[in-house]
């Protein structure tokens, strides 16, 4: 019986060799992709010195792999920052990577700038965090960059001291108070006292900034992979002027640009996102630019009184023209580009050139957010049919005897089995 089984096995092997091999099992279609996101809270330039503050970067692809950077303080970054080689202060920077370096959501903070910026810029805690990993087969990352407070000290008093009080009042309020000539003398006396108080200060915090955090993250939800970048805006104050009583005396010498500044600028949140459908590789982008509100103080009023003006994306506005505090604000617009399996979105930075008449002023770029994604559906290769090697007889023109030979072998096997049974 064992020999019979062996014969049947041999026959089966011959059939297996004789029958052409079918197509190999095809692999399923899959999507390859790459995403990148970036958000910057503030880029500051004074003269030829500059710094980027509150930076968040994220990158991921279908390998799967991801990398993230959250930094409180960096040197000025170019248009495209490299997360593998960012020039950031390690004391306020967290990097993460999947696989290999999970990172942390806990902020890592520091509070010092390099010279010569440190002599004029008072930096509060600058912090960063970043965490990377994998979920549902897709690598993720989330990064945050944050700055608590920034104060810039410039010799404002020296500049104001060179200006007569009356022309200064006229310049600052001509567009705000049409009844300036009818303003009582007591108000002019109050303004005189306030300007004199600022002039008497050797140095004052000419510009103060409170910044919201910047974030950039890559997530996967319900088969949609999204990179989302956002900068939460800022509150900026220029030249704090103490409140004055109607009798011409100052209530206090406190000058907080964020509360009683000559100009207060509110920059809203900017956001850019790009998403990819993992099944179809179709991409989409979205962006919203920061809305900017300017508050200019009417210094003919004894108490802080402000006239507000909103700046829509794409507009440029200059306030206090012709004065040391002349400031130009450019509210950049958002852009979206979509092309089938790729998308890019950007909410470009709000640009501010503040205090132009004070040593060339201070240049700021705030609330920059970008996001981009590109994908592709990789289809399985066409089935490969492996044919049996041609028989030598096929080239002679003779008849193919493969089937008859197999029948004979099968018959011989059956005879052997029956014979053993009869003999038994």
What is the predicted pLDDT for the residue at 368? 93
Q: What percent of the chain has pLDDT over 90?
A: 40
Q: In the prediction, which pLDDT does 206 show?
A: 77
Q: What is the pLDDT of residue 25?
A: 41
Section 33-38 average pLDDT: 95
The 10s digit of each residue's pLDDT in 67-94 is 999 999 998 887 778 898 999 999 999 9
For residues 283 and 154, give the distance between their C-alpha atoms in angstroms, rounded to a whole number. Answer: 48
Residues 129 and 205: their CA atoms lie apart, in Å, by 29
CB atoms within 10 A of CB 172: 25
Please tell me which residue, 354 or 393, carries the higher pLDDT value.
354
Q: Which of the two residues, 415 and 295, has the higher pLDDT score?
A: 295
47: left (phi over 0), alpha (psi -120 to 50) or beta: left
- Asked if 265 and 342 touch (Cβ cutoff 8 Å), the reply is no
Question: Is the pLDDT at 102 greater than 90, yes or no?
Answer: yes
Does residue 237 surpass a pLDDT of 70?
A: yes
pLDDT in tens, 247-276: 555 555 567 888 888 889 999 999 999 999
Gap between the Cα atoms of 326 and 228, Å rounded: 35
- Ranges 38-52, 207-221, 238-252, 348-362: which has the least confidence: 238-252
**373-415 pLDDT, tens digit each:** 999 988 776 565 555 444 433 334 444 545 555 555 555 555 5
Give the pLDDT of residue 306.
85
- 0.85 surpassed by pTM: no
Task: For 42-51, write each residue's pLDDT tens digit.
Answer: 998 877 778 9
C-beta of residue 279 within 8 angstroms of C-beta of residue 268: no
Q: How far apart are the first and last CA of the chain?
A: 12
Span 141-167, average pLDDT: 69
User: For the chain, what is the mean pLDDT?
Assistant: 76
pLDDT tens digits for 158-216? Answer: 444 444 444 544 554 454 444 334 445 555 555 555 555 455 444 567 789 999 999 99
Strands 126-135 and 103-110: antiparallel
For residue 327, give the 3-state DSSP assignment.
strand
- Predicted local distance difference test score (pLDDT) of residue 386: 54
């Amino acid at each position: 019986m064992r020999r019979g089984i062996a014969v049947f096995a041999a026959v089966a092997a011959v059939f297996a060799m004789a029958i052409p091999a079918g197509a190999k099992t095809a692999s399923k279609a899959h999507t390859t992709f790459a995403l990148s996101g970036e958000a910057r809270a503030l880029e500051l330039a004074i003269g030829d010195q500059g710094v980027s503050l509150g930076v968040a970067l994220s990158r991921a692809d279908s390998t799967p792999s991801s990398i993230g950077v959250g930094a409180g303080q960096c040197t000025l970054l170019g248009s495209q920052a490299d997360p593998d080689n960012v020039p950031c202060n390690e004391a306020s920077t967290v990097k993460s990577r999947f696989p290999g370096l999970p990172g942390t959501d806990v902020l890592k903070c520091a509070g010092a700038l390099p010279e010569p910026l440190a002599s004029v810029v008072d930096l509060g805690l600058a912090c960063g965090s970043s965490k990377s990993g994998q979920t549902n087969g897709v690598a993720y990352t989330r990064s945050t960059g944050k700055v608590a407070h920034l104060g810039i000290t410039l010799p404002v008093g020296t500049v104001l001291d060179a200006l007569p009080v009356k022309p200064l009042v006229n310049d600052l309020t001509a567009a705000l108070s049409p009844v300036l000539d009818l303003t009582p003398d007591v108000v002019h006396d109050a303004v005189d006292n306030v300007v004199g108080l600022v002039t008497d200060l050797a140095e004052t915090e000419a510009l103060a900034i409170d910044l919201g955090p910047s974030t950039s993250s890559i997530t996967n939800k319900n088969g949609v992979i999204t990179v989302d970048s956002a900068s939460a805006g800022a509150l900026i104050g220029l030249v704090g002027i103490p409140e004055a009583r109607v009798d011409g005396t100052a209530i206090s010498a406190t000058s907080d640009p964020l509360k009683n500044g000559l100009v207060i600028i509110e920059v809203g949140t900017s956001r850019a996102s790009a998403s990819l459908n993992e099944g179809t590789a179709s991409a989409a982008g979205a962006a919203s630019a920061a809305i900017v509100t300017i508050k200019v103080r009417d210094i003919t009023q004894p108490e802080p009184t402000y006239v507000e003006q909103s700046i829509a994306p794409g507009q440029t506005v200059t306030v206090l023209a012709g004065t040391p505090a002349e400031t130009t604000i450019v509210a950049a617009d958002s852009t979206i580009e979509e092309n089938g399996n790729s998308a890019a979105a950007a909410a470009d930075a709000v640009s501010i050139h503040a205090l132009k008449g004070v040593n060339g002023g201070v240049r700021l770029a705030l609330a920059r957010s970008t996001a981009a994604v590109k994908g592709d559906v990789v289809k399985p290769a066409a089935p490969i049919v492996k044919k049996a090697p041609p028989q030598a007889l096929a080239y002679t023109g003779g008849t193919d005897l493969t089937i008859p030979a197999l029948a004979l072998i099968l018959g011989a096997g059956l005879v052997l089995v029956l014979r053993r049974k009869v003999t038994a």
